Amino acid sequence: MASNVYRNGTGSHKGATRPLAASNSSNVKSTSFKSRIPPSNHSPGSAPLRRSNSAGGSDGVPGRVRVAVRLRPRNAEESVADADFADCVELQPELKRLKLRKNNWDSETYEFDEVLTEFASQKRVYEVVAKPVVESVLDGYNGTVMAYGQTGTGKTFTLGRLGEEDTSARGIMVRSMEEILANVSPETDSVSVSYLQLYMESIQDLLDPANDNISIVEDPKTGDVSLPGATHVEVRDERDFMELLRTGEAHRIAANTKLNTESSRSHAILMVHVKRSVLGAEDVIPSETDKSSHFAKPPKPLVRKSKLVLVDLAGSERVHKSGSEGHMLEEAKSINLSLSALGKCINALAENSAHVPVRDSKLTRLLRDSFGGTARTSLIVTIGPSPRHRGETTSTILFGQRAMKVENMLRIKEEFDYKSLSRKLEIHLDKLIAENERQQKVFDDEVERINLEALNRVSEVERNFAGALEKERLKCQMEYMESVKKLEEKMIENQQKHGCDGFMQDKCNGEGPGSSIVEDVAEVKKLLEKEIHMRKEAQEEVNKLKSQLGQCPDSGEGGGSEILKLQKALADEVRQKKKLEEEMIILRSQMLQLTFEADQMRRCLGRNGSANAYGGLDSPMSQVRGSLNGHKTPVAALFEQVGLQKILALLESEDANVRIHAVKVVANLAAEEANQERIVEAGGLTSLLVLLRSYEDENIRRVVAGAIANLAMNETNQELIMIQGGINLLSVTASRAEDPQTLHMVAGAIANLCGNDKLQTKLRSEGGIKALLGMARCGQPDVLSQVARGIANFAKCESRASTNGIKSGRSVLIDDGALPWIVQNANNDSSPIRRHIELALCHLAQHEVNAKDMISGGALWELVRISRDCSREDIRSLARRTLNLSPIFRAEMRRLRIEV
């Protein structure tokens, strides 16, 4: 017994072992099955329609089922078995007649709408059978093309041939879709496809084999049949459709019988749903004032929905001829029952019977619209020439004759196209918005032009003013230069006049400019001491008044007036104290300025070769410096005397040198843990981050980074640095800096942050790890040492998180590409770098998930070296313990025959 197989759609049939030979049918005029239908308007966005019904969907157009007969040529078996017998049919295509021979002297004649010989080409068959139906579908009507006949007579060849190797052999399915796709507009129209098979009274989806029991749904109002459970695939081009056909044919059930090597065991149904946008007829409204004039409403957008059904029926067969047994016998019974039910329906329709048994089979329910419904239907019956199958041929011909008597009432299904109207309104709205934006842009451009013109005028005035100011400055500078030159000439003249010895004596007696400067410095020093003494007296007076105020009893009104007097005197003392402090600051600045001028004068005189002559100046100047140095206090004492807020205020000074010195003072203060909390509370950290963000000066960035590095030694400060965006600022500074000292400070700050378990995620997300690795480009040992320290700190935190179960997965350092650099520098000549790298490798190796990456990256050999040759015992022990506890490392060492 032959078993069921899946058909691929391209195999040959036993009844059609060779393709139908092409004839000179191009010279034969094709006969159209189509009735004359008035044309209608179509939307301008889609392909033009050939014909349509302007009457709408209520009034139908009568259309009879058109039937064509096609004769299959003899196959190899029939050529041998029936060599001595004539064909049982004789075709008269020019008369559209067919003669069926009963014997050598008697025959019956039948007329069809088209008679196709065995030499008719596939193109000829499509043009006379399916093309009129396809054109009606494009006009909005439903259409059906169905093939009926004995098994092995070429139904699948006629309808479903793919023609991949020979395009001339393409069947009706492929050619119909080609014409539909060529006549629809992708912008406004849509085409979707469903491919089904009716097997053993079960509707199965050929595009989704798992969907094998699809139910039929009928509209109770219109009686339309639909399959909501079927797969609908939208088709854009012929290639997509061919792929769907190949998929469906691969899932269609076929079997090997005596009559056909690939006999279809199911009815194949291809449904093509077409939606097209059209324009309805214009409504004409007569005018009230002038009956001869009319107003025409714009045409309404409509959508027409049509359906093309292509049915490849399974072949009717007699069991004793096909040799079906077992399950194939059950299949044959199911096929014959469904075809028998179809024949009963057609008989009832042909005889105008009051009852049509459409519910006897799912096949007749699916084809309800095709026979006696609203679809344009073409039927092609296929027959064979062998006299041995005269009975099956006669049955097929009579089936076609009865089908020709069935009348359908064709209707167009039109709906108001809300989507198209919505799209048009959206397009119009977009145009209005675009026009509004264009006008707004013109207005903005005009405003910008006026602003630019005003700015140009302002710039011109500023340039004129700057030019005048520059001229005035140059003039003053020239006058100053001339005055200096005159003074120098007088000085030289005096030297020549009085002689070198007299000049030196004058200077030693304090009559020269150096002596006057020393006197000024001494005078300023006395004033400063006086102000300090006055400040102490004022402070004592304030304290005295405070104590008197506290001891003063409450004595009524007299006591209240006394308190007010004391409070007023106290306020006066506070104002006086503040004034004294301001004067002290001014005096100190004057002292520093005078000291600087004295040094400048001494260097100037030394350059003039008069160092020996002015040697007497060294003693008083050194005395001034000694006295100043005697009053210098260490940084901590300065912190107490001057006040932190005043030091921090200098960070905002416009003088770059003042800013740098202020940052240095803050950095020195931050080096002592006792001062860090006070600096942060006073806003010092925020001020430092602002400086790092605002200034591009390399010196400022270097000193600021050092101060932040000192503050980053405290865990609380580390979190504050993260919250205020310090990690990102340090990363950006690292990418821009080129100076090794700056990179050293930045790397130190990031290395301190790497030791905080809470900052691991932030360090990676804000680029801290990549910035740390990027600074290795410098190559300077101090920078590399800080980079290695940061990596070791980060690896240690990761190892701790993995041990506690907080972190899982591969190390961030390995993900960011740090492993090659670590391995490369594991044996660095610098001891600090090597020690940090060795610790980092040991911490990375403690997490098992990193083992494979470390082995592939060459880190295993470095771990073995560390376990043997490291100078520190604790690191050697850690490396050995890590290698012995890791199964992956142990397995690799066994493979490489390494012993630790």
Give dist(CA 811, CA 802) in Å, integer.
10
Q: Would you say 155 is a known binding-site residue?
A: yes
Percent of the chain with pLDDT over 70: 75
Q: Would you say 790 is a known binding-site residue?
A: no
Q: Say yes or no to pLDDT of 383 above 50.
A: yes
The answer to whether the CB of 312 falls within 8 A of the CB of 267 is: yes
pLDDT of residue 896: 82
Model confidence pLDDT, tens digit, residues 67-86: 999 998 888 777 777 766 77
Q: Say yes or no to pLDDT of 50 above 60.
A: no
pLDDT of residue 423: 77
User: Averaged over 20-49, what is the pLDDT?
Assistant: 38
Give the CA radius of gyration of the chain: 53
pLDDT classification of 180: cutoffs 50, 70, 90? very high
Number of Cβ atoms within 10 Å of the Cβ of 276: 27
Model confidence pLDDT, tens digit, residues 85-133: 778 888 999 999 999 988 777 889 999 999 999 999 999 999 999 999 9
Q: Would you say 156 is a known binding-site residue?
A: yes
Q: Would you say 160 is a known binding-site residue?
A: no
Q: Say yes or no to pLDDT of 861 above 90.
A: no
Q: Would you say 779 is a known binding-site residue?
A: no
Q: Which residue bears the tokens 């957008």?
A: 301
User: Averaged over 413-435, what is the pLDDT?
Assistant: 82
pLDDT of residue 267: 92
Q: Say yes or no to pLDDT of 593 above 60.
A: no
Model confidence pLDDT, tens digit, residues 727-747: 888 888 888 888 888 888 888
User: Averaged over 631-654, what is the pLDDT?
Assistant: 58
For residue 642, give the nearest of 606, 669, 609 by alpha carbon: 669
Give dist(CA 876, CA 250) in Å, integer.
68
pLDDT of residue 35: 38
pLDDT classification of 134: cutoffs 50, 70, 90? very high
pLDDT of residue 230: 92
Q: What pTM was estimated for this model as a whole?
A: 0.44
User: Averaged over 570-589, what is the pLDDT?
Assistant: 63
| Token output for 518 | 């020393």
Three-class HEC string of 501-540 = HHHHHHHHCCCCHHHHHHHHHHHHHHHHHHHHHHHHHHHH
Least confident piece of the model among 283-297, 320-334, 753-767: 283-297
Cα 395 to Cα 13, 230, 318, 381, 402: the distances in Å are 21, 33, 12, 11, 11
- Print burial letters for 637-655: b (CB count within 10 Å at least 16), e (below 16): eebeeeebeebbebbeeee
Maximum mean pLDDT: which of 31-40, 119-128, 316-325, 653-662: 119-128
pLDDT of residue 633: 40
pLDDT of residue 314: 86
Q: Say yes or no to pLDDT of 875 above 80.
A: yes
The answer to whether the CB of 110 falls within 8 A of the CB of 100 is: yes
Q: Say yes or no to pLDDT of 345 above 50.
A: yes
pLDDT classification of 594: cutoffs 50, 70, 90? low
Taking the C-alpha atoms of 366, 404, 131 and 42 in order, what is their torsion angle to the nearest 10 degrees?
-70
Helices (H) and strands (E) in the chain, counts: 34, 22
pLDDT of residue 524: 66
Least confident piece of the model among 173-187, 376-390, 688-702: 688-702
Residues whose CB falls within 8 Å of the CB of residue 425, separated by 6 or more in sequence, listed in order: none
Least confident piece of the model among 32-41, 234-243, 814-823: 32-41
> Which of the two residues, 456 and 57, has the higher pLDDT score?
456
Model confidence pLDDT, tens digit, residues 310-328: 999 988 777 666 666 777 8
pLDDT classification of 595: cutoffs 50, 70, 90? low
Model confidence pLDDT, tens digit, residues 499-551: 544 434 444 444 444 455 556 666 767 776 777 777 777 777 777 766 766 66
Q: What is the CATH number of domain 4-20+76-284+303-410?
A: 3.40.850.10
Q: Would you say 152 is a known binding-site residue?
A: yes
> Which of the two residues, 24 and 342, has the higher pLDDT score?
342
Domain limits of the chain? Answer: 4-20+76-284+303-410, 418-498, 505-632
Q: Say yes or no to pLDDT of 399 above 50.
A: yes
